[in-house]
């Protein structure tokens, strides 16, 4: 469930009430806001519901300077709310989406909101935007995870390498890029790109520096395994990216820990740096190729999941822009995947 509080001009009260009634929330109450010219409403919506309500409120109030909508998770409410069946949820969702939005820019033929989309678009955007912020905390965490990964790879320790995967903050920017492609948000896409590149470069450079001060164990199984590319590795990266997007869009954030281990972005980067520092250029290229495949597969599959879940912009104009962005990005990333797979095969046809 979610608790939504909206503050708006008093002259919009009737229109706001109409929007609320159309969405059929669990409960709602309206009262005076912070002045005579303002009103406030508190709305409780069921899990997986509320996106159309928020879109219509934004369409109604977006042109006014004095309004705000705040979204909070609601863990429980009394009296208890009976669980809805899947059929009833789908029916109510269809009924909600059949209403005409108050926003004149909205497409009246808008695709029906998917009942299984549990996370609101605004929640997803805020989450990934925070996770792809390039600040000192991100840089320090990347450096620390690079140290842990270098120690684990060089010492042939699976447990230490897994620890580096979990603490590495690189999955956030990857998901942010995939979401920005689905929404056609160039600003978020550029932010995610800068943070992703910065994180990978920082990890690589720091590991390369470490290779000049420690003896490199070129026979380490953990390091050698980062140079091996098979169809199973590509399938794993695709599945991991899809699982990451699915866990994020459905609000199961705890599942992201497992995805962080599976997608393995930092260890190949660190392995490439250690091999390069030891003078083994061929193995360094193999590890770098594995890293590139992991990134491409994760972005491609995550973007497709976001599109499948129906995560798209609010207005019709933005939806058209997002649809174009999705097509362009899908073609680019699929082309990159095929090119990288072909390159991996040319380097070692026995493995792939």
Residue 337 located in a structural domain: yes
84 and 140 part of one domain: no
Q: Greater confidence, 155 or 309? A: 155
217-226 burial, b at 16+ Cβ within 10 Å, e below that, comes to: beebebbbbb
Query: Residue 63 burial (CB < 10 Å; 0-12/13-18/19+)?
Result: exposed
Q: Greater confidence, 115 or 7? A: 7
202 and 291 part of one domain: yes
Q: How far is CA 166 from CA 173, 189, 195, 240, 270, in A?
A: 15, 24, 18, 14, 15
Residue 110 located in a structural domain: no
Q: Given a cut of 60, is residue 129 above it in pLDDT?
A: yes
Question: What sections of 41-120 are H helices per DSSP?
Answer: 51-61, 86-97
pLDDT at 192: 92
Q: Which of 260-264, 267-271, 325-329 is the most confident on average?
A: 267-271
pLDDT at 53: 85
Q: Given a cut of 60, is residue 311 above it in pLDDT?
A: yes
86 and 36 part of one domain: yes
Q: Given pLDDT bands bounded at 50, 70 and 90, which one contains residue 352? A: very low
What tens digit of pLDDT does each residue of 33-84 get? 666 678 888 888 887 678 888 888 888 888 888 888 888 878 888 888 765 4
Residue 106 located in a structural domain: no
Q: How many domains does one find in the chain? A: 2
Residue 299 located in a structural domain: yes
pLDDT at 104: 40
Residue 104 located in a structural domain: no
60 and 170 part of one domain: no
Q: Given pLDDT bands bounded at 50, 70 and 90, which one contains residue 30? A: confident
54 and 184 part of one domain: no
Q: Given a cut of 90, is residue 276 above it in pLDDT?
A: yes
What tens digit of pLDDT does each residue of 202-225 get? 999 999 998 888 898 888 898 988
pLDDT at 115: 43
Q: Given a cut of 90, is residue 275 above it in pLDDT?
A: yes
Furthest-apart CA atoms within the chain: distance in Å: 76
Residue 116 located in a structural domain: no
Residue 43 located in a structural domain: yes
Query: Once rounded to an integer, what is the mean pLDDT over residues 100-119?
Result: 43
258 and 131 part of one domain: yes
Q: Given a cut of 60, is residue 265 above it in pLDDT?
A: yes
144 and 34 part of one domain: no
Is the CB of residue 256 less than 8 Å from the CB of residue 247? yes
Q: Given pLDDT bands bounded at 50, 70 and 90, which one contains residue 88? A: very low
Lowest mean pLDDT among 22-31, 171-180, 206-215, 316-325: 316-325
131 and 92 part of one domain: no
Residue 164: cis peptide before it, omega within 30 degrees of 0: no
61 and 200 part of one domain: no
218 and 343 part of one domain: yes
Query: Once rounded to an integer, what is the mean pLDDT over residues 145-151?
Result: 90
Is the CB of residue 74 less than 8 Å from the CB of residue 1? yes
Q: Given pLDDT bands bounded at 50, 70 and 90, which one contains residue 170? A: confident
Query: Once rounded to an integer, what is the mean pLDDT over residues 123-147?
Result: 87
Q: What is the Cα Rg of the chain in Å? A: 24
241 and 142 part of one domain: yes
Say which CATH number the domain at 39 has.
3.30.70.120
219 and 179 part of one domain: yes
User: How far is residue 350's CA from residue 223's CA, in Å, rounded to a whole number?
Assistant: 19
pTM of the model: 0.72
Query: Once rounded to an integer, what is the mean pLDDT over residues 19-35?
Result: 81
Is the CB of residue 123 less than 8 Å from the CB of residue 243? no
3-state secondary structure of 71: strand
Residue 167 located in a structural domain: yes
Q: Which domain holds residue 17?
A: 2-97
Is the CB of residue 166 less than 8 Å from the CB of residue 257? yes
């Amino acid at each position: 469930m979610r608790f939504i509080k909206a503050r708006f001009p008093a002259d919009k009260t009737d229109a706001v009430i109409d929007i609320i009634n159309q969405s059929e929330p669990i409960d709602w109450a309206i009262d005076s806001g912070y002045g005579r010219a303002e009103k406030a409403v508190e709305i409780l919506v069921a899990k997986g519901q509320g996106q159309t309500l928020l879109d219509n409120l934004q369409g109604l109030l977006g042109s006014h300077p004095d309004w705000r909508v705040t979204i909070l998770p609601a863990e429980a409410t009394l009296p208890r709310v009976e669980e809805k069946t899947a059929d009833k949820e789908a029916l109510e969702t269809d009924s909600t989406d059949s209403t005409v939005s108050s926003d004149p820019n909205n497409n009246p033929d808008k695709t029906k909101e998917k009942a299984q989309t549990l996370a609101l678009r605004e929640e997803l955007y805020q989450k990934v935007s925070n996770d792809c912020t390039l600040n000192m905390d991100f840089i320090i965490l990347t450096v620390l995870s690079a140290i842990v990964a270098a120690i684990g790879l060089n010492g042939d320790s699976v447990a230490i390498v897994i620890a580096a995967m979990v603490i590495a903050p690189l999955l956030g920017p990857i998901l942010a890029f995939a979401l920005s492609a689905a929404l056609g948000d160039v600003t978020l896409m550029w932010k995610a790109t800068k943070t992703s590149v910065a994180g990978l470069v920082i990890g690589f450079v720091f590991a390369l520096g470490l290779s000049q001060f420690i003896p490199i164990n070129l026979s380490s199984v953990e390091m050698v395994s980062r140079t091996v590319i098979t169809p199973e590795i590509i399938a794993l990266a695709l599945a991991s990216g899809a699982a990451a997007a699915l866990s994020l869009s459905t609000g199961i954030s705890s599942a992201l820990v497992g995805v962080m281990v599976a997608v393995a972005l930092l260890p190949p980067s660190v392995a490439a740096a250690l091999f390069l520092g030891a003078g083994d250029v061929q193995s360094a290229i193999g590890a770098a190729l594995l890293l590139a495949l992991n990134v491409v597969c994760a972005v491609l599959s995550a973007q497709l999941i976001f599109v499948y879940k129906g995560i798209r912009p609010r207005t019709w104009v933005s939806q058209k822009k997002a649809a174009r962005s999705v097509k362009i990005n899908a073609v680019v990333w699929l082309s990159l995947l095929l090119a990288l797979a072909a390159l991996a095969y040319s380097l070692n046809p026995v493995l792939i």
